[in-house]
Amino acid sequence: MVRFYQVLLGLIWSFVVISSASANPHPNESRVPKVKAAFWSKKFKLPVDKLPSQSSLREGSPVLRVRVDWDGGKYTFGAAVRESSGTESLVRRAKSKDALGSFRAEIYDRDSGAFLASDSIGTGVKYRGLTRALSFRFPLHGKTVLFRMRGENARSGVMQTVLEQEISPSNLKEWPSQKDVEVVLFKQASIEPKLILNIYAEGYSASAKARFYQDAARALDVLWDKKFPGFERFEIRAVFAPSGRSLGGASNLGFPIPERDSFLGLYYPYWDDMQRWYHVVYPTREERFRRGLAQVAYDYAFALVDSSSYWGVGNYRELTAVPSKSSSFAYLLIHEMGHFFGLNEEYNGGGATELAFAPEIKEPWSQNITFQTNLSSLKWKPQVKSSTPIPTPSSHWRSNGPYGAYRGGYADTVPLGKAHKPGLSCVMDSGQNFCPICRKAIEDRVQFDLGIKVL
């Protein structure tokens, strides 16, 4: 007998922004660093016209994908799917419960009640409203499981159970293999265990395949040049499938958004209706987006979109997408990947960020933003000198520190005037690279995702 339990959090869910982990670049493009053309492909320039397709890279270990639907006021069970996108690291990290994330899900053995696996994600309130779904991924255990999802209360931020559902392996759907997908291995991991990072083509036509591989090489250049935490453990692959349509510009597509004929189905929402200053991209259908990602095994996934506009989007363990032809490409890539690993905005202005926590939450879970104003409570206390005043006045800052708790960050988000950040020069604002606090936060996440470290 299928047991379905659902707790509504009240009407408050429908009009209060809840905690999330999708966010965007600095609102003023003129302030972010640009990269000279001579930089590109200085290390990872590849003979893209001779790159072999490696079909053996496509299939991973079996995974249970659970989709939870959202209609603006409640969560309901959407679908359970069997896919072959799993990795060895996914199996290891699923054994530990994640301390971060706005939505945290676990599966349990239906008969014994034993804990089996967990997953955690963070998405913005607008992301949920436009995609109308959330998605979780677990190693497949081949038995009937109880799926349980918790979400943060929109006012207090306290985690509450919002959905429970029994899932039988006999009822799982299975997505078909997409024949026009090509996978190319760009970089092997130099240290084991490894994490598979896939760069997906979005909006590239069939004739633009070679250019996509060149753009993917540029992305590797950036990660290598910026010494991205964990880079030596990344096996990096480029995943190409042609798109019937390019991204184009923002336009009012009506609601619900029609499904888009591109590899991952990403689109511009019409932000003029949402009082936002810039554009980001979202999936027209969560299921189409996840089906595209699941054509290959992966730990991390980001979309390289054939676009030259200034925008970017990052969700904690969800969606990361950047425009490949932007003159701010390097900054956008690093900044949005920071969001993928849980980091929050360190800039001011631009309106309320989508990385907005419940207004009464005591402390955001993002590793680089705090509401605390004493040294003993700082998340990054080990990296702050005892002589540094907390909160730290901006006049105290020099080019490289000292790090402390400086007023700012969190964009223009309620509660106003309460957020503090580690310093004043990070790429999570408009700087060139990660500050030591953000770099350490990503390093910790990499260790967690490898199943090496419990946070």
Helices (DSSP H) in 16-143: which residue ranges?
A: 88-93, 125-131
254: Cβ contacts below 8 Å, ≥ 6 apart: none
Q: How far apart are CA 237 and CA 445, in angstroms?
A: 20
**What pLDDT was estimated at residue 352?**
73
CA 144 vs CA 6, 80, 138, 149, 169: distances in Å? 19, 12, 13, 16, 6
According to DSSP, residue 226 is labeled T
Q: Where are the alpha helices (DSSP H) in 298-381?
A: 329-340
DSSP 108-159: EETTT--EEEEEEEB--HHHHHHH-EEEEEEE--SS-EEEEEEEE-TTT--E
| Whole-angstrom distance, CA of residue 433 vs CA of residue 55 | 35
pLDDT score for 17: 34
| Cβ–Cβ under 8 Å, residues 367 and 99 | no
CB of 303 closer than 8 Å to CB of 321:
yes
According to DSSP, the β-strands at 234-240 and 195-202 are parallel
The CA–CA distances, whole Å, from 231 to 221, 310, 451 equal: 11, 25, 16
Cα atoms in the 13 Å half-sphere on the side-chain side of 260: 27
Q: Which residues pair with 61 in a beta bridge?
A: 86
pLDDT of residue 104: 96
Nearest to 94 by CA among 117, 121, 65, 64: 117
Q: Which residues of 209-220 are buried (b: 16+ CB within 10 A; e: fewer)?
A: bebbbbbbbbbb
Question: Average pLDDT of each block of 10 consecutive residues along the chain (455 residues)?
Answer: 37 33 75 70 57 70 95 89 96 96 96 97 72 92 96 88 96 91 92 97 96 92 93 95 90 77 86 53 88 96 94 88 94 95 91 78 93 94 95 94 95 90 97 96 97 87
Residue with tokens 């509450």: 160
pTM: 0.91
Specify the domain boundaries for CATH 3.40.390.10 within the chain. 26-55+183-340
**CATH fold for domain 26-55+183-340:** Collagenase (Catalytic Domain) (3.40.390)
CA distance 405 to 363: 14
First to last CA, the chain: 36
Amino acid at 419: A
C-alpha closest to that of 79 among 170, 151, 173: 173
Give Cα separations from 100 to 24, 118, 121, 238 (angstroms).
Answer: 19, 12, 8, 28
Q: Are the C-beta atoms of 229 and 254 separated by less than 8 Å?
A: no
Given the DSSP bridges, would you call strands 75-86 and 173-174 parallel, antiparallel or unpaired? parallel
What is the pLDDT, as a whole number, of residue 270?
A: 59
Residue range(s) of every CATH 2.60.40.3250 domain in the chain:
4-11+62-174
Structural tokens at position 40 = 């590109």
Q: What is the CATH number of domain 4-11+62-174?
A: 2.60.40.3250
8 Å CB contact between 103 and 151:
yes
The closest alpha carbon to 34, from 334, 330, 346, 429, belongs to 330
Q: What are phi and psi of 76, to 5 degrees?
A: -135, 155
Token code pair at residue 60: 């991973």
